[in-house]
Amino acid sequence: MTEARVTAPPRLGQEEGRQLITEVKARAGKGGDVVIDLGNTQEMDSLGGACLVDTALIVKRRNGAFRIENARGPVAEFIEMIEPALHPPPPRPKPEDSTFVEIGGKALRYVGEVGEFLALCFDAFYWTIIAPFEGRGFRWGIFVDEVLEMGVRAVRIVFLMNFLLGLIIAMLSAAQARGFGITIYVADLVMIGFARELAAIMTAVVVSARTGAAIAAEIATMKVQEEIDAMRGMGLSTSQFLVAPKVLALSVSLPCLMTIGLVAGILGGCVWGVFVLGFPPSVWLDETLGAAHLSDLMQGYLKTLFFAIAIALIGCHNGFRVTGGSRGVGLMTTRAVVMDIFVMICIDIVFAAIFYYVLGR
């Protein structure tokens, strides 16, 4: 093996270092050992040091040995400090190599997550419904705060969104119905649509984006800042303090919000019917009330109750699962909202199927 000896200049900075690298590449291009002589060097900065680190890497990649000699005084101390960096860098962590290991790992993670979620559901059920009757207090103070935040503060946006949706539905269906001369039935359509489906879905989507995200972000931040650990360490149940009040508060507020959404949606349709289609308000109202059936309303409310429980539990579940810091909080919040919407549609399909096949409506 050949050994190339390169003498470094008196001052080793970025420029000089680059020249040094070029010289090393030229002289030990096809491999071989390299010795850097720092005998003349009195001064060097971090970038000069980085050039030495880079040189060492180049030489070692070509299976040569790298040595620094004759460093003196402060330069020697500097070299001593950067010595660990002269060794090849640690490899980047590689993903699992076998596909089976990967699939198995994923499956186990999903099973684990489902287990955690079921445990959370059980805990929430216990602390919301059973524990208060066993004399283990329900946190009414927190519950009231949550209702204010989740329910009362959401009234305006829920009203506005449903009103606009009512307007849109009336607009779209009136265009189709006009050809058959049955525009009065737009009032029936809006009523049935909002009672069975639209008020529930629209309200739940708004609340999921508002409250579901807030729940996930709040709990995730608490976990990151060790507040959750502190609570558990004091022997307090996180389900009792965090989950149960939220589940109950949302179960109360969401149906109320849906009622407001329903009224707003019908009002939106009515505005179109009265002001654009030209029906007298009493005619439109009669038609609307004639189309109102209790069973349609029950379907909407029943769904809403499930949506509420799902939004609260999914928010809490994702919040508790956070790992890492601020990034993790963002990821879990996104995940909570995406899961909310997905689960909502699933619940909706199940209800639609039950009502269609079993009850024939």
Partner 1 sequence: MSETILRVENLVTHYGETKVLDGVSFDVEKGEIFVIIGGSGCGKSTLLKHMCGLLRPTSGSIYYGDRDITVMDEEELVTIQRAIGIALQSSGLFNSMTIGDNVAMPLREYGNVDPALIDAVVRMKLSLVGMATAQHLMPSELSGGMRKRAGLARAIALDPPVVYFDEPSAGLDPIMAAGLDDLILDLRRMLGTTFIIVTHELDSIRKIADRMLMLDRGKTVFLGTVDDVETQGSDRVRQFFDRRADEYITQRNI
User: Smallest distance from the beta carbon of 34 to partner 1, in angstroms?
Assistant: 15
Q: How far apart are CA 226 and CA 275, in angstroms?
A: 57
Q: What does the per-residue mask of binding to partner 1 show for 91-110, with x meaning CB under 8 A?
A: -xx-----------------
User: Smallest distance from the beta carbon of 58 to partner 1, in angstroms?
Assistant: 10
Indicate whether 76 belongs to the interface with partner 1 (CB under 8 A).
no
User: Smallest distance from the beta carbon of 96 to partner 1, in angstroms?
Assistant: 16
Alpha carbon 141 to its chain's center: 28
Question: Using CB under 8 A, which of 3, 69, 83, 96 touches partner 1?
Answer: 83
What 3-state DSSP class applies to 222? helix
Selected range binding partner 1 among 50-58, 159-167, 240-248, 335-343, rule: CB under 8 A = 50-58
Question: Using CB under 8 A, which of 1, 84, 179, 282 touches partner 1?
Answer: 84
Sequence-separated contacts (24+) of 282-288 with Cβ below 8 Å: 283/184, 284/184, 284/187, 287/184, 287/185, 287/187, 287/188, 288/187, 288/188, 288/190, 288/191
**Looking at beta carbons only, is 3 or 77 nearer to partner 1?**
77
In DSSP terms, which residues pair with 44 in a beta bridge? 12
Amino acid, res. 205? V
Q: What does the per-residue mask of binding to partner 1 show for 273-312, with x meaning CB under 8 A?
A: ----------------------------------------
Q: What does the per-residue mask of binding to partner 1 show for 113-142, with x meaning CB under 8 A?
A: ------------------------------
> C-alpha distances in angstroms, 300 versus 125, 193, 248, 293, 296?
23, 10, 18, 11, 6
**Looking at beta carbons only, is 18 or 335 nearer to partner 1?**
18
Q: Determine phi and psi for 349, rounding to 5 degrees.
A: -60, -45
Name the packing angle between helices 244-275 and 294-320 (round to 10°): 140
Q: How far apart are CA 125 and CA 234, in angstroms?
A: 22
In DSSP terms, which residues pair with 141 in a beta bridge? none
Q: How far apart are CA 342 and CA 358, in angstroms?
A: 24
How many positions of this chain bind partner 1 (CB under 8 A)?
A: 31
CB 299 within 8 A of CB 351: yes
**Looking at beta carbons only, is 72 or 156 nearer to partner 1?**
72
**Looking at beta carbons only, is 47 or 160 nearer to partner 1?**
47
User: Smallest distance from the beta carbon of 18 to partner 1, in angstroms?
Assistant: 7
User: Smallest distance from the beta carbon of 117 to partner 1, in angstroms?
Assistant: 23
CB 22 within 8 A of CB 6: no
Return the residues of window 301-360 that contact partner 1 according to CB under 8 A.
323-328
Indicate whether 57 belongs to the interface with partner 1 (CB under 8 A).
yes
Indicate whether 14 belongs to the interface with partner 1 (CB under 8 A).
yes
Residues that bind partner 1 (CB under 8 A): 14, 17-18, 45-47, 49-51, 53-54, 57, 74, 77-78, 81-85, 87, 89-90, 92-93, 323-328
